[in-house]
Amino acid sequence: MSRSKNMIKLEAINRRPRKIFSEEKFNGKIPVITDYYAENTFDFRKSDMISDEVKEELIEATKATSKTRIPNEHADQVAKAVVAWASKRGATHFCHWFQPLTGTTAEKHDSFLSFSKDEPILKLSGSQLMQGEPDASSFPNGGSRSTFEARGYTSWDLTSPLFLREGENGKTLCIPTAFVSYNGDALDVKTPLLRSITALSNAATKFLQLIGDKDVKSVVSNCGCEQEYFLVDKAFYYARPDLVMSNRTLLGSLTTKNQQLSDHYFGTIPERVLAFMQELDYKLHRLGIPSKTRHNEVAPGQFEIAPIFEEANVAVDHNQLLMAVIKKVAQKHDFVAILHEKPFAGVNGSGKHLNWSMATDTGDNLLEPGNEPHKNHRFLAMVSIVVDAVFKHSKALRMAIAGHGNDHRLGANEAPPSIISVFLGDTLTKIYDALESGSEFKPIDDQWLDMGAGQLADLLRDNTDRNRTSPFAFTGNKFEFRAVGSSQNAGFPLSILNAAMTDALISATAELEKSLNSGKGIEDALLDLIRTNYKRSKNVVFGGDGYSSEWLEEAAQRGLPNLRTTAEALTVLKDEKATAFLTETKTYRPVELLTRYNVAVEGYNMSREIEFSTLSRMVRQYVLPSAVHYKKGLLEVIKTQSELEMECVVEKDILTKVDTLLNNVYKALNNMEASYNDSLQKDEEEKSLLFATKVLPLSEELSNKSNQLEEFIPDELWDLPTFLEMLFVR
């Protein structure tokens, strides 16, 4: 290291909070959220340069079931309004902003500069607004595109607002787009998500109209992504090769005090972190991202931000933007934001809890139970269809949240297990059990909590508790897909969930039509459907401790799949039976599933290769030299004391232990490297399985041996920043 660890530590300790709301910047007035909310987004409905006719056309085009095409002359009118709005606010360039299969976003900037009769002008044509052409062979495509087959297209997504990205010296207009190949195959996350939204709307609308909701013309899926993350001072981050290369610590001894006391969770937000959060909210709100909640999470150095619900497609775009803004703002505060699912072994990792619901165009939340849920047959039917969807497609849902980072989190003490199950809560479970058995459900009267203190307001207890160990939990008027990884693009699991629900709705509609055609009334037909669904799929309903070993055994007895690793889970993409619902609902094409399998396996393997190589290098460059240096010092002390005929019992004992630990590390290093090198000779699929089952356990053994050595070596001889410094210095 070019600087001593003590210098790095002093630099981190002495940092001060960054102030952004200065009186000079805002003319002596602290701004109010409503004054600047969404000021960096373009709302065509408010533009006086766009005619009412075109506005109505654009509104119609944003509907999931719309097939409206925007004529070129109308696109030119919109583009002219957009460039006027953007340039007035300091934008000089525009880009098509899209989400390729890298897991992040992509953009290529073009200037507004054009010429008219040799005079420079600002221009964005309608065709430039509507369509772009990035290189389809240079992005992950799973072998579906050859290098010489480079053409691909981006297409403006009218359902997601245009926005301005701010830089230090100007702004860029970003146009949210889909990204497809020359043949129209999706090479991104957005395109299948939009298809799934359309398919769900069609299936849900047909079901609702069948049961009498004739006014419903469309249904939207809504979601809100709770985002967890860690903050590490950038001085420590850049002194850790593993964090820089893989976004997680590949070795490191856990501190004696970490999260056992739960004193960090919901604790007072550190001043420097609060300054970061305040600037983060300011940036997000200007982008029209409705961030709502912020707080300390369980692990030291871990935090969370949660938004207000939005329509699914916009929510996914906003979450991708949110992750980018978190990273950018963190750097301004001399932090690095880590979105990896498990950056520090031994403490809680991070998730992205995907809260999901469905709503009609008439404003009804289809998962709202009402005051008497046992009498709300539409609600009970919808929830039973959700349960049936999860039961039938649990393998696909497990695959949807697979990732090398999530493998370190799933099943640990802060995340649901890799077995997909549904939590309904006591009240709903009892209602369904009563319906199935034909018995009467007797609701419990409203329960007011007597807190024994007259100074406190009375509290009305909810009709069910929460279960944080469940991967897929009902939480009052929505479901929470808790197993989604923190770094993941939420659009992929959301598209799988929407497609699963669509498939279940199609089946439910067919069953309902059959009952109605037999002469049954709507209420009786609905009750039959609810009973049938629950009886068929209740094995996936579980309200107990998902962390327990007993659940693993019980889940196996229930026939629930347990795909423990990403390597196992990704094979679902090649299972035609397990993915048939994705192609039948037209969410994905067969070639797109194969593309995603190839991209995901290759991505998993490359991520592991980076980790294994980085760990090997760190052990050779840091761990072993530190131990040898310590041994050298001990030997010199022993030699000096022996020459003075002094006893060296303690020193010799320490030397023996360090030597043993050093040999253990070296042996573990050689074992991991040998297994890793053998695995490299296999094809991608076999390699992924070997990485998951052979090499990864050996790398973890090497990490554990290195950690034992770290605990013996004096801090002054250990060059790497420790967990103590990274987790606690703010």
Residues 328, 236, single domain; the answer is yes
Rounded CA separation 438/140 (Å): 54
Total structural domains within the chain = 4
* 490 and 503 Cβ atoms separated by less than 8 Å: no
The answer to the question of residue 510 being in a domain is yes
Are residues 38 and 17 located together in one domain of the fold?
no
What tokens were used for 285?
């709100």
Is residue 283 in some structural domain?
A: yes
Same domain, yes or no, for 572 and 654? no
Q: Are residues 231 and 320 both part of a single domain?
A: yes
* Per-residue model confidence (pLDDT) at position 1: 42
CA atoms of 12 and 527, how far apart (whole Å): 63
DSSP 148-191: T--BEEEEE-TTS-EEEEEETTEEEEEEEEEEEETT--B-BSHH
Query: What's the pLDDT score for residue 308?
Result: 96
Return the bridge partners of 114, or none: 121
Q: What is the mean pLDDT of the chain?
A: 92
Q: What is the CATH number of the domain that holds 157?
A: 3.10.20.70
What does the pLDDT read at residue 96? 96
The answer as to whether 476 is a domain residue is no
- Compute how many other C-beta atoms are within 10 angstroms of the C-beta atom of residue 639: 11
Closest CA to 611 of 622, 619, 601: 619
Contact indicator for 282, 20 with CB cutoff of 8 Å = yes
Q: State residue 668 phi and psi, 5-degree precision.
A: -65, -35
Distance separating alpha carbons of residues 429 and 267, to the nearest angstrom: 35
Higher pLDDT pick, 64 / 99: 99
Out of 149-158, 397-406, 464-473, 713-722, least confident range: 464-473
Q: Which residues contact 630 (CB under 8 A, 6 or more apart)?
A: 658, 712, 713, 714, 717
Which residues contact residue 643 at a Cβ distance below 8 angstroms, ignoring those fewer than 6 apart? Answer: none
Which residue, among 225, 200, 224, 208, has the nearest Cα to 497 in the 3D structure? Answer: 200
Domain of 677, CATH number, reads: 1.20.120.1560
Q: Is residue 502 part of a domain?
A: yes
pLDDT of the residue at 25? 58
Same domain, residue pair 641 and 535 = no
- Token pair of 301 as six digits: 């150095």
Single out the residue in 536, 555, 586 at which a domain terminates.
586
Q: pLDDT digits over 625-653, tens only?
A: 999 999 999 999 999 999 998 989 999 99
70 pLDDT higher than 90: no
Are 510 and 556 found together in one domain? yes
Clarify whether residues 184 and 195 are in a common domain. no
Is residue 415 assigned to a domain? yes
* Domain CATH number, residue 301: 3.30.590.10
Overall size of the chain counted in residues? 730
* Strand duo 131-132 + 162-167: pairing: unpaired
| Residues 345, 376 share a domain | no
| Residue 672 one-letter amino acid | M
Percent of the chain with pLDDT over 70: 94
- Both 616 and 631 in one domain: the answer is yes
Q: Is residue 68 part of a domain?
A: yes
Confidence of residue 141 (pLDDT cuts 50, 70, 90): confident
Single out the residue in 350, 379, 405 at which a domain terminates.
350
* H runs (alpha helix) in 680-729: 684-690, 696-710, 723-728
- Residue range 418-445, pLDDT digits in tens: 899 999 998 999 999 999 988 888 877 6
Do 614 and 691 sit in the same domain of this protein?
yes
Strand 152-156 and strand 131-132: pairing? antiparallel
For residue 94, the one-letter residue type is F
Q: Give the integer Cα–Cα distance in Å for 163 and 297.
A: 30
Task: Provide the pLDDT confidence category of residue 3 given band limits of 50, 70 and 90.
Answer: low
Extended strands (E) in 361-431: 422-423
The pLDDT tens digits of the residues spanning 363-410 come to 999 999 998 899 999 999 999 999 999 999 999 999 999 999 999 988
pLDDT of residue 228: 97
Residue 595, in any domain of the structure: no
- Containing structural domain, residue 724: 604-728
CA–CA distance, 313 with 191 (Å, rounded to integer): 10
Nearest to 428 by CA among 415, 409, 439, 441: 441
Phi, psi of 358 (to 5 degrees): -130, 145
- Pair 667, 715 in one domain: yes
